[in-house]
Amino acid sequence: MLSMQVVDQVGMPLPEVEVTATDSANGRVLQLGATDPYGTLAASVAPGEYRLALQAESFQTLRLGAQIAAGSVTPLGRLSMELAPPPELPSRGYWEIDPAHTAIRFIAQHIGMANVHGRFENFAGSLFIAERVEDSSVEITIDAASINTGVKMRDDHLRSADFLEVERYPYLHFVSDRMQHRGGARWQIGGTLTLHGVSRSVQLDTNYLGNGSGMEGETRVACFASAELHREDFTLNWRKMLAKGIAVVGATIRIELDVQAVYQGEQPPAHWS
């Protein structure tokens, strides 16, 4: 048995730190679990010599050895993890979202049952990266009729007046008005989402994945962003529809965006004017 508490560089407990142990005798890898909200973990491990690896988002992997004795608890004490260096920020200028390497997905609960997974097939978007990244902006326009859950009958229903009402509201539109650095590679992008004719503030929890070169030498950046939407905020009244016997998706919808964008230069491209 071993026990530990994991903290960050200022001594605050770190939850959800994944801990693995490699048995030095046979190389077998054991998944010991994750730390609790207080940063603690206790795990049963057979006696022997192990190499431990502690991993958490935005932190450097911590590696250490441990000798586990039979019939006793091996306390590893308070282990401190350091923040990982953030990836290099993107260059100032204009970036265009690449639809071929971007996905906009949603996950919604089917009333009392499993989740419904879907995506939007058609969209366009752009980023402007300012000298101070916090002053940057994002704009995305989504074709509401391009919704796809893999079931035609369900998709037709989602396009109808019961849900997206695409003939009246053909687009979803998001435009950001603020960016905040949350440490490491984590950012929060705040803005306004217009859906079904209603505009509401939305916060995108964003993990910046860095930049690099594409197959043709173009400069790309990538990020993963997510948010939870409440359908009633956009006048999609699920309780009213449930009373009518319409039980397709639940009251909350998780949106996920895997984004790649291509650098266009310091001046906006001609086709943006």
Domains and CATH numbers, the chain: 2-80 (2.60.40.1120), 93-272 (2.40.128.110)
Q: What average pLDDT does the segment 170-181 reach?
A: 94
The length of the chain is: 273
Mean model confidence pLDDT for the chain: 88
What per-residue confidence (pLDDT) applies to 103? 97
Q: Which residue has the higher pLDDT, 174 or 215?
A: 174
Residue 152 has pLDDT above 70, yes or no: yes
Q: What average pLDDT does the segment 42-53 reach?
A: 92
43 close to 32: Cβ distance less than 8 angstroms? yes
- Residue 89: partners with Cβ closer than 8 Å, 6 or more residues away: 129, 133, 208
Residue type, 95: W
Asked which of 41-55, 83-97, 108-122, 183-197 is least confident by mean pLDDT, the reply is 108-122
Q: Which residues pair with 242 in a beta bridge?
A: none
In the sheet with 40-43, reading across from the earlier edge strand, the strands are: 40-43, 2-7, 74-80
Q: The tokens of 190 are what?
A: 């705040």
Q: Model confidence at 84, in pLDDT bands (50, 70, 90)? A: confident
- Residue 77: partners with Cβ closer than 8 Å, 6 or more residues away: 4, 5
31 close to 66: Cβ distance less than 8 angstroms? no
What per-residue confidence (pLDDT) applies to 127? 95
Q: Model confidence at 173, in pLDDT bands (50, 70, 90)? A: very high
Residue 174 has pLDDT above 80, yes or no: yes
Q: What average pLDDT does the segment 79-83 reach?
A: 93
Residue 41 has pLDDT above 60, yes or no: yes
